[in-house]
Amino acid sequence: MSAFHYQRSYRGPLKAAIFDWAGTTIDYGCLAPAGVFIDVFKRRGVPITSEEAREPMGAHKKVHIRKITELPSVAKRWREVHGKPSTEDDVEVMYQDFLPRQLECLTKYCELIPGTLETIATIRKRGLKIGSTTGYTTEVMKILVPEAKRQGYEPDSIICASEVPAGRPEPWMCFANAQKLQIYPMEAYVKVGDTISDIDEGLNAGMWTIGLVKTGNEIGLSQDELKRLPQDEFRRRSDRAYVRMSQAGAHYVVDEIADVIECLDEIDRRLASGERP
């Protein structure tokens, strides 16, 4: 018997890219959901910081609220205000409060992030399909999708957390995209997003992953706010985000969507040499 074991290996190029929405392709700074989470908790008498509101970003919004309540700092404040830990009923009440408030503010945060159209066009020219995943519900996407299309962005596939058994970090939205796009294997995909849960989702689906720092949840500032931010503070936040995403397992970490193309060239080279994500 031979001492060597031979394994089937995909050596072709990337076939598809799956993008997140808020903080990746639209809504510079991922502002729409963060502010509403803060408001919802404030209405229950429990103030939360922007950092606490953003910690679970990328998850299904009900899961996101549940995870905020589980943060030690928030759980402590909740007990001080309500005299007991939060319950699933509390999470449900806040989620039902969150939904209409999210819908009300969405149109303020529908602008495409600079570089999105150019990057998507370049990726399409390479022969890749464009998929997308989001922690938003189908009701929210009924507003966002037409707004994005009006600006020229229309993915080939859109899967919401509410359409699968569970959202991020589970891989089901990525698998649903693959089924809809009818493209395989999963190592021929790259997942691009601005949250740790985006990276987890892509890795759990067996995909290459690219984390975005500057335009999304990790820094969490609008373009105007970013321009006013002192350079040393920007560097501190940026360095922290690069470390967090790298430690989460991202294959590549870059500033924004416009920086993705050079990563695709490197991934194609790695695939051709027999590497897998």
Question: Which domains are assigned to the chain?
Answer: 16-30+111-272 (3.40.50.1000), 32-108 (1.10.150.240)
Asked if the model's pLDDT at residue 265 lies above 70, the reply is yes
Helices 88-105 & 31-43, crossing angle to 10 degrees?
130
- If one compares 57 and 214, the residue with the highest pLDDT of the two is 214
Helix (H, G, I), strand (E, B) or coil at 6: coil
Mean pLDDT of the region 218-236: 92
pLDDT tier for residue 1 given thresholds of 50, 70 and 90: low
Query: Which residue among the candidates 15, 27, 61, 191 is catalytic per the annotation?
Result: 61
pLDDT for 63 equals: 86
pLDDT at residue number 25: 97
Average pLDDT over residues 247-251: 97
What integer best gives the mean pLDDT of the chain?
A: 92
Instruction: Average the pLDDT over 182-209 and give the result.
Output: 97
Query: Virtual CA dihedral for 212, 216, 221, 227, nearest 10 degrees?
Result: 30
pLDDT in tens, 33-55: 788 888 889 998 999 888 888 88
Which residues have C-beta within 8 Å of that of residue 157, sequence separation ≥ 6?
A: 129, 130, 131, 132, 177, 180, 181
| Whether 27 is catalytic | no
How confident is residue 205, by pLDDT bands cut at 50, 70 and 90?
A: very high
pLDDT score recorded for residue 186: 97
Q: Could you confirm whether 61 is annotated as catalytic?
A: yes
Of the residues 20, 27, 198, 200, only one is catalytic, namely 20
DSSP letters of 171-207? Answer: SHHHHHHHHHHT---GGGEEEEESSHHHHHHHHHTT-
DSSP state of 111: P
Provide the pairing of β-strand 189-193 with 16-19: parallel
Q: Which two tokens stand for residue 74?
A: 């928030």
- For 215-226, the pLDDT digits (tens) are 998 998 999 999
* Residue 132 confidence (pLDDT) above 80: yes
pLDDT tens digits for 50-106?
888 888 777 778 888 999 999 999 999 999 999 999 999 999 999 898 888 888 878
Closest C-alpha among 269, 10, 23 to residue 132: 23
